[in-house]
Amino acid sequence: MRLLKGKILRVQSINSKECKKGEATSKETKVEDESIIENITQTMEKVKKVKGSYKKKKREPQNLCQMHDIKATKNIVKNYGRAICNFILSPVSRPYLNDIIHRDHKTIEIESFISYIQARKETIDCIERIKQMLIVTENDDEEEAAFKTIFKKIGEIFIKYFSVNWIFGGRLTYKQAHVAFRFKMLRRLRNPELFTHLKSFVKR
């Protein structure tokens, strides 16, 4: 009987200690949870203050893509026009010039045409200038009308067969823009009357 009572007391004592431990652990967990919540709240408040300290930046006056397009297409007509002139003045064009002149303009001398191009090369700086070298008017004499026709034909040859090498082998900044405009320039040479403006090659 005494042994049984002793066992019961020991069991009660163990249970009592375990209950106290459980209560202590529960209190510690509760304290930790409260501490975590407090830290999160403080962090959120700091984030709100930081966000509030920054003012909204003003939008740029012009879209960056639009600015890039303007820069890329600004000098394309001038560059193509002068490249055609340089091609005409180079030895590479001679076989083509000889063929065109001997076939269609037998009265024209190659050296006269070369001098004509040399005199006008540096004046090509816009659409209107290159149109003046392409469109035959009533005021043009027979020789100048022939020069314009030859310039148009040799320009087509340059764009078709030599322009890609010129674009990627030269010092052009916006190479892709010049490649994209290549066939537009070819169409403008064939129909210079329609050469009134240059649309951006970039799709919106």
Report mean pLDDT in 10-residue bins for the chain, 204 residues.
Answer: 52 54 52 58 60 50 52 83 96 96 94 96 90 93 95 96 95 91 92 72 38
Question: What pLDDT was estimated at residue 197?
Answer: 65
Residue 121 lies in a domain: yes
Residue 42 lies in a domain: no
Residue 142 lies in a domain: yes
Residue 58 lies in a domain: no
> Looking at the 3D structure of the chain, how many domains does it have?
1
Question: What pLDDT was estimated at residue 85?
Answer: 96
Question: What pLDDT was estimated at residue 27?
Answer: 52
Domain that includes residue 112, residue range: 71-194
Question: What pLDDT was estimated at residue 64?
Answer: 45
Question: What pLDDT was estimated at residue 139?
Answer: 92
SS3 per-residue string spanning the chain: CHHHHHHHHHHHHHHHHHHHHHHHHHHHHHHHHHHHHHHHHHHHHHHHHHHHHCCCCCCCCCCHHHHHHHHHHCCHHHHHHHHHHHHHHCHHHHHHHHHHHHHHCCCCCHHHHHHHHHHHHHHCCCHHHHHHCCCCCCCCCHHHHHHHHHHHHHHHHHHHHCHHHHHHHCCCCCHHHHHHCHHHHHHHHHCHHHCCCCCCCCCC
Question: What pLDDT was estimated at residue 75?
Answer: 87
pTM above 0.85, yes or no: no
Question: What pLDDT was estimated at residue 63?
Answer: 55
Residue 166 lies in a domain: yes
Question: What pLDDT was estimated at residue 8?
Answer: 52
Residue 159 lies in a domain: yes
Question: What pLDDT was estimated at residue 125?
Answer: 86
